[in-house]
Amino acid sequence: MRRPATRWIAGSLSVLPKPQDRPLLDILASGRYKTGPGPKVTTNRTMPIEPLYPLHFRPILKRLIWGGRRLGSILDKPLGGESDYAESWEVADHKNDVSVVADGPLAGRDLRSLIAEFGETLLGSSVGVRAQFPLLVKFLDAHQVLSVQVHPDDAKARVLVEDNGKTEAWVILHAEPGSLIYAGLRPGVTREAFAESLETGEVEPLLHRFAPKVGDCVMIPAGTVHAIGAGIVLAEIQQMSDATFRVYDWGRVGADGSPRTLHKPQALEATDYEAGPVHPHPARADAIAGGTRERLASCDYFAIERLRLTGAAEVGSLERFTLVLAIEGAAEIVHDGASYPIARGQTRLLPAALGPCEIRPIGEATVLTCVVP
Ligand SMILES: [Zn+2]
């Protein structure tokens, strides 16, 4: 079966280019060579050049006062000796935090340079050329409760913080007994009541809360006041943004002994007072080849599915890139006859040009797939 995105080069090459052959790869990626069914060649040989493969990035670990060590103990992240590992940014292209490829021929390359170089070959025609990779994927360990916060939508973020808006979704991977998610204002809480609570510090009573279960998916549209409670480990999929307005920090102090900065005026502006309480998103499991598929969340920015696999299934699409996060067990993704392992706590980016790839669980595996709709 032909792959429309395979690039071909005609001529006297006798070997595939190596990653250090930058000029050649740059020319190939520039699009000046034809994509499609292959060129009309007048020379005596052609060969496919397809440098993209299922990409795995080095985790970007963030230490914050609410973090712990479960990114290591549960998700096998390579932690140092500290006690406050809060986030592992799996796929990121945000200001100075840009993911770097961990292995394979593109090891050492950063995501920003890859989307600049490969454009739609990587992102897909339905995503289009972008200056910035559109999604941010993280794992979080809330050893302590996070601050109560709210994120702006796109329009307000551009005015207030020169960043993108931030709609996010969580998939709960671990929840200790009694742990809580705070999501949304209770019904009837007005801007005036919320503003008053920020002055008195009586914010918690205004927040809707529930005890999450492993597997719950929680959608947090921009404008939703929220906090992740102590004892929760989750996967977070969001717009590529770090626009966070902290409104309440439970009276604690930061590493330097003083309270962390709050952003009350911006938060009052960013909050959606009509949205009300947020509940876990119900999901129905449909049978597919190899297991089941659940549509967990869908919005303008991303769509998330969960595949529970006991046999081989398919991931990826020629129209758009696909992020695959392993959340239980381990699997391998097969592309061009090669196998790319993915184990719990790992993420791979399937460039659009790869098209559908087979994913084979090793025993059983559960993965999340994330795409831009
Ligand atoms: Zn958030």
Mean pLDDT of the region 239-264: 89
Same domain? For 251 and 232 the reply is yes
Phi, psi of 284 (to 5 degrees): -110, 135
- Domain assignment present for residue 280? The answer is no
pLDDT at res. 3: 43
| DSSP sequence for 188-204 | T--HHHHHHHHHHT--G
- Domain assignment present for residue 1? The answer is no
Same domain? For 216 and 294 the reply is no
Separation of 282 CA from ligand 1 center, angstroms? Answer: 20
Same domain? For 238 and 290 the reply is no
- pLDDT-derived band at 19 (thresholds 50, 70, 90) equals very low
- Domain assignment present for residue 55? The answer is no
Same domain? For 176 and 251 the reply is yes
Give pLDDT tens digits for 266-318. Answer: 999 999 999 999 999 888 999 999 999 999 999 999 999 999 999 999 999 99
pLDDT at res. 91: 98
Separation of 185 CA from ligand 1 center, angstroms? Answer: 14
Question: Of 54-63, 154-163, 350-359, which range is least confident?
Answer: 154-163
- Domain assignment present for residue 279? The answer is no
Report the number of distinct structural domains present in the chain.
Answer: 3
Question: Of 1-15, 184-198, 232-246, which range is least confident?
Answer: 1-15
- Domain assignment present for residue 54? The answer is no
Whether the predicted pLDDT of 132 surpasses 50 = yes
Same domain? For 129 and 266 the reply is yes
Same domain? For 128 and 262 the reply is yes
SS3 18: coil
The beta-carbon contacts of 247-252 under 8 Å, at least 24 apart in sequence, are 247/147, 247/148, 247/149, 247/150, 247/198, 247/203, 248/147, 248/148, 248/198, 248/201, 248/203, 248/204, 249/147, 249/148, 250/145, 250/147, 250/148, 251/201, 252/65, 252/144
- pLDDT-derived band at 142 (thresholds 50, 70, 90) equals very high
What is the number of other CB atoms lying within 10 angstroms of the CB of residue 154?
A: 17
Separation of 236 CA from ligand 1 center, angstroms? Answer: 9
Residue identified by tokens 């963030």 is 62
Same domain? For 28 and 108 the reply is no
> Of residues 7, 70, 246, 348, which has the active-site annotation?
246
Phi, psi of 158 (to 5 degrees): -65, -35
Most confident of 33-42, 167-176, 193-202, 276-285: 167-176
Residue identified by tokens 């991977």 is 173
Percent with pLDDT over 90 in the chain: 80
Separation of 139 CA from ligand 1 center, angstroms? Answer: 12
Same domain? For 207 and 262 the reply is yes
Question: Of 41-45, 94-98, 250-254, which range is least confident?
Answer: 41-45
pLDDT at res. 95: 87
Same domain? For 115 and 143 the reply is yes
Dihedral sign (CA 181, 182, 184, 187): positive
- pLDDT-derived band at 370 (thresholds 50, 70, 90) equals very high
pLDDT at res. 17: 40
- Domain assignment present for residue 155? The answer is yes
- Domain assignment present for residue 202? The answer is yes
Q: Report the distance separating Cα 119 and Cα 129, nearest Å.
A: 5
Read off the pTM: 0.85
Q: Report the distance separating Cα 150 and Cα 266, nearest Å.
A: 9
- Domain assignment present for residue 276? The answer is no
Same domain? For 122 and 201 the reply is yes
Same domain? For 308 and 360 the reply is yes
Task: Please list the residues that pair with 324 across neighbouring strands.
Answer: 348, 369
CATH number at residue 358: 2.60.120.10
Mean pLDDT of the region 156-163: 91
Same domain? For 20 and 93 the reply is no
pLDDT at res. 364: 97
Q: Report the distance separating Cα 132 and Cα 241, nearest Å.
A: 11
Mean pLDDT, the chain, integer: 88
Residue identified by tokens 């009509």 is 274
Active site residue 70: no
> How far is Cα of residue 42 from the mean position of the Cα atoms in its chain?
45
- List Cα–Cα distances, 16 to 40, 69, 152, 229, in angstroms: 20, 43, 47, 51
Print the domain residue range for 14: 7-49
Q: Strand 303-309 to strand 181-185: parallel, antiparallel, or no bridges (unpaired)?
A: unpaired
